[in-house]
Amino acid sequence: MSVEKPPAFQFYPKDFLTAESVRLMSLKERGVYITLLCHNWLEQSLPNHVPTLAKLVDLRTKVFATMWNSVLARCFFTGSDGRLRNPRLEREREKQAEFRAIKAAAGRLGGRPKKAQGFFSESKPKAKKSPPVFDLQTPVRTPQPPLKGGRSRRRRRQDIPGGGSCSHSPRCHTTKACIERTLADARRKRAAS
């Protein structure tokens, strides 16, 4: 299996704009610097040859050499292979490699690593209950006890489907209200524990 080069790197605008070396650059020099960073990332390094670097950024060698000698050269170091690298990009490359290694190891374990001991490793998986289906649109009428004087009071109300009714005090007037109240109660209990 071949390892693909990462296509992108993290760019932190605050770090970039507040770095002294960047603040000393003109707008044109910043553009050249960003272009060199992109080439450095894609190719792992840059050639240590000013005319070649000038071609990479589409500038005449004399113009580029002036920029390189004034501010750009201090943003790169020469590696053991004689090629140029940006120290910040190398740290980003190492962070990405470490992150990928951690994720690959987790993938070999089957995704999320399981705990070696404790409650979750010893318990059996619970069967999932399917949630009840509530019809929030259809009103359901419930018989009310007659009032004094023989009149019956009819009140529109949606009861909980499945034959049960609201167990809250005071009772909820709709299924939706009852569900929201039940969920709020469960959240409060979970937060308290």
Q: What is the pLDDT of residue 163?
A: 45
Q: What is the pLDDT of residue 157?
A: 47
Residue 142 makes CB contacts below 8 A (sequence gap 6+) with 155, 157, 159, 165
Number of folded domains that form the chain: 2
Same domain, 68 and 143: no
CATH number at residue 76: 1.10.10
Q: Which of 39, 71, 106 marks a domain boundary?
A: 106
For the chain, 193 residues long, the average pLDDT of each consecutive 10-residue run is: 74 88 92 94 93 95 94 92 93 89 79 55 58 57 60 50 63 77 82 78
User: Could you tell me if residue 123 is inside a domain?
Assistant: no
Cα(159)–Cα(141) distance, integer angstroms: 8
Same domain, 97 and 144: no
**Cis ω for the linkage preceding 132 (within 30 of 0):** no
Domain that holds residue 29: 13-106
User: Could you tell me if residue 100 is inside a domain?
Assistant: yes
Same domain, 153 and 75: no
Same domain, 86 and 34: yes
Same domain, 154 and 84: no
Same domain, 193 and 151: yes
- pTM exceeds 0.85, yes or no: no
